[in-house]
Amino acid sequence: MGSWAGAGGCLLLSVATSTLILLTRPPGSWGARIIGGHEVAPHSRPYMASLRFQGQHHCGGFLLRARWVVSAAHCIKDRDPLAGLVVLGAHDLRVAETTQQVFSIQDAFTHPDYQPSTHANDICLLKLNVSAALGGAVGLLKLPRRGARPPKAGAWCQVNGWGAVSDFQDLPPGLMEAKVRVLGSDTCNNSWSGRLRPAMLCARSGDSRRRGFCSADSGGPLVCGSRAHGLVSFSGLWCGDPKYPDVYTQVSAFVTWIWGVIQQ
């Protein structure tokens, strides 16, 4: 992800006239990281998944069931998802940790109403070729309950990812995390000049610091309490910029669709 970003590759720029200009960039092309965050204790977020293409970390996601990973639709836009790999049980992606489990993707399901131009319905499901072995380093993350409302404005949540730590795509020392605060939809939509669509959720730092997600953090979960309430979707040109709050797919709006696909 990154700026209006890893999001299917569109970079959103704000210029002096408040005009919005769209430029094309490859997904995840802006080297960046969880902004204003910290490295978590190894395997303390056992639900985290790394989606890889050609041996490189591309996006995040989370393990919902032993054979099912939830991620963002833009992560597999213009790519053959069956050519990707999913890595579970990782902390440091630079080494082959004994806790890591690597899977091929048997099938992928993008939401039928996904709209790359607006990022609406930016969610997908990845079915692994075999079931993951659950344990201390690999675990599940719950969805919101059916019919659940999104977290209230002001609620504190956390976002995780393995986004690179420099413009040279250097990987972080391990899984990173930032604590962010949910923003009211009206306030967020005003910041984005009315560009938000239904089923989007916003968050930003609770102070003046830059804090949030960036490029290769796409698809990772926004965890509020013990449930995944958001998926990293898009942000402004400068990652963690309070002027353009980070935007997530609101997972609670897709619970029925998710279970419908899994139970097919």
The stretch 125-146 carries a mean pLDDT of 97
| 13-17, 90-94, 255-259: segment of lowest average pLDDT | 13-17
Average pLDDT of the residues of the chain: 84
| CATH 2.40.10.10, the chain: domain bounds | 31-39+142-252, 48-141+254-262
DSSP 77-142: TTS-GGG-EEEES-S-TTS--TT-EEEEEEEEEE-TT-BTTTTBT--EEEEESS----SSSS---B
pLDDT band at 27 (very low <50, low <70, confident <90, very high): very low
- Give the pLDDT score at 239: 75
Tens digits of residue pLDDT in 164-205: 554 445 568 899 999 999 999 999 999 999 999 999 999 988
Question: Could you give the residue numbers annotated as active site?
Answer: 74, 122, 218
For domain 48-141+254-262, give the CATH number: 2.40.10.10
Select the more confidently predicted residue: 181 or 25. 181
- Give the pLDDT score at 159: 94
In CATH terms, the superfamily for domain 31-39+142-252 is Trypsin-like serine proteases (2.40.10.10)
* Cα diameter, the chain: 53
The stretch 234-257 carries a mean pLDDT of 88
- Give the pLDDT score at 204: 86
Tens digits of residue pLDDT in 5-17: 333 333 332 222 2
- Please give the Cα distance from 161 to 243 (Å, whole number): 22
What are phi and psi for residue 189, nearest 5 degrees? Answer: -65, -35
- Give the pLDDT score at 206: 64
- Please give the Cα distance from 5 to 3 (Å, whole number): 4
Tens digits of residue pLDDT in 37-80: 789 999 999 999 999 999 999 999 999 999 999 999 999 999 99
- Give the pLDDT score at 208: 63
Residue 126 scores a pLDDT above 70: yes
User: Please, are residues 210 and 241 in contact by the beta-carbon 8 Å criterion?
Assistant: yes
- Please give the Cα distance from 32 to 171 (Å, whole number): 9
The stretch 218-223 carries a mean pLDDT of 96
Amino acid letter, 62: F
Q: What is the pTM of this model?
A: 0.85
